[in-house]
Amino acid sequence: MSKTDLTRRGVLKTGTIAGAGLAVPTIFTAQSARAFTNEPTGDTVTLGFNVPQTGPYADEGADELRAFELAVEHLNGGGDGGMMSTFSSKTLDGTGIMGKKVEYVTGDTQTKSDAARASAKSMIEKDGAIMISGGSSSGVAVAVQGLCQEAGVIFMAGLTHSNDTTGKDKKANGFRHFFNAYMSAAALAPVLKNLYGDDRAAYHLTADYTWGWTQQESIQAATEAIGWQTINNVLTPLAATDFSSYIAPVLNSGADVLVLNHYGGNMVNSLTNAVEFGLRDKSVNNKNFEIVVPLYSELMARGAGNNIAGIPGSQNWDWKLPDEGTKAFVKSFGEKYGFPPSQAAHTCYAQTLLYADAVNRAQSFDPCAVGEALEGFEFDGLGNGPTLYRAEDHQCFKDVVVVRGKENPENEFDLVEIVEVTPRAQVEYEPDHPMFAGGALGSCNPGA
């Protein structure tokens, strides 16, 4: 008779080791068997839409929310399907995501990083959101992206234009469809050379936070590469409302171009002040004085009124693009809401479809599987032509739209005209480009 020496401690130890040993192969072979944060177990799946519902970007947030609601309607088989019919990937069939009906919760970022993190946390922990999307500030995007990485859910960024979002602050769980400051500058510089020549002296006013800094760095480098000189760069507080004391020194600085690295209300006010001080009527160095706004939005153009006429800038997308995806989205959005969608609405709609499609292709809601499905994914039919979600930094690469404020708008939506659609190849850069250096993508976190 063999002697057994069973002790409580020995059984526990052996059981733990054996259990871990048996579990190991499943990690590599059967992802569906692994638990992850907010794994949907019923007939529904919950997405979290975190947008500014109050604060200075509330109008952008409201448009983002409209787009999210439209995307959910289309995913669940309602409406006309919008861009689902033009999307090159054909996994979306109106039956939800992987057969589960899509539900959503919303949060208010207030365009503040701490408030955005708090609302995203609540959506993940209390509402069981498996993906977070939205936002309209790079400060918010970077903060929420970090939170999603820690929590183990996917972050499909909304409107964020700082290089840092997919540069030094990039995260494996975060994906950006929107373009960035480098791409704006790369698209804009050749157009500026055509419009204003290669012998210009630029004066920059820059919003004093992550987006402003990378925007200014990018446009300075791109314009200097075409021969422009940089006279000065003055940082302005984000809370500033009257920019006249910053505009006044431009008059006698020797500059013949003013670059406004401002967004939202800041841009509306600084541009109004610049026009009011007669900068556009001035002649300096025997050239007409010009103003450039590197990042445009139609909502901002509406705020700036006639002052925007003739001023060039860049956009991620414009509702007047002629491709079939854009037409389908504008029709769908326009018929539902009575006005054309903004670029913020477009990027949020596209991100929702891209997430849903990635889950269907991966046949899993596991964030690591979804991330893998998005990395290196090439698609078309969502506006801007063929697009790549680059694996190295999770940045989308697509054509960039260079626009100009329209001189004689025919209606209230006809505020900007498309000057050029800059091909994707012209705005691409290496993942280790110095403006995107630092930080690491890391590895995906599936959470629980």
Partner 1 sequence: MDAILLQLLNGLDKGSAYALIALGLTLIFGTLGVVNFAHGALFMIGAFCAVTLQRLLSLSYTVIDPEKKDFLGNPLEIKIPYVEKWFGEAAGQTIIDWSVPLAVLFAIPIMLFIGFAMERGLIKHFYKRPHADQILVTFGLAIVLQEIVKYFFGANPIPTPAPEAFRGSFDFGVLLGFDPNVIIYPYWRMIYFAFAMVIIGAVFAFLQFTTFGMVVRAGMADRETVGLLGIDIDKRFTLMFGLAAAVAGLAGVMYTPINSPNYHMGMDFLVLSFVVVVVGGMGSLPGAVLAGFLLGILESFASMNQIKSILPGIDQIIIYLVAIIILLTRPRGLMGRRGVMEE
Summarize as ranges the residues that interact with partner 1 (CB under 8 A).
Answer: 54-59, 62, 232, 234, 237, 239, 241-242, 244-246, 248-249, 251-252, 265, 268-269, 272-273, 276-278, 281-282, 299, 302-307, 319, 330-331, 334-335, 339-340, 410-411, 413-414
Q: Which is nearer to partner 1, 56 or 146 (CB)?
A: 56
* 3-state SS track over 286-342: CEECEEECCECCHHHHHHHHHHHECCEEEECCCCCCCCHHHHHHHHHHHHHHCCCCC
Distance of closest approach, residue 352 Cβ to partner 1, in angstroms: 23
Locate 368 and state its tokens: 């690591």
Query: How many of the other CB atoms lie within 10 Å of CB of 404?
Result: 19
Residue labelled with tokens 């630092």: 438
Distance of closest approach, residue 253 Cβ to partner 1, in angstroms: 8
Q: Which is nearer to partner 1, 78 or 237 (CB)?
A: 237
Show the DSSP H helices in 126-263 as ranges.
138-151, 181-196, 210-225, 244-251
Dihedral angle sign, alpha carbons of residues 4, 9, 13, 18: positive
Locate 404 and state its tokens: 């100009």
Q: Which is nearer to partner 1, 303 or 385 (CB)?
A: 303
Distance of closest approach, residue 255 Cβ to partner 1, in angstroms: 12
Distance of closest approach, residue 419 Cβ to partner 1, in angstroms: 19
Distance of closest approach, residue 202 Cβ to partner 1, in angstroms: 15
Distance of closest approach, residue 343 Cβ to partner 1, in angstroms: 15
Contacts of range 299-305, beta carbons closer than 8 Å, 24 or more positions apart: 299/59, 299/60, 299/63, 299/342, 299/344, 300/263, 300/264, 300/267, 300/268, 301/405, 301/415, 301/416, 302/412, 302/415, 303/265, 303/268, 304/267, 304/268, 304/271, 304/272, 304/405
Q: Which is nearer to partner 1, 4 or 252 (CB)?
A: 252
Q: Which is nearer to partner 1, 142 or 274 (CB)?
A: 274
Q: Which is nearer to partner 1, 51 or 189 (CB)?
A: 51
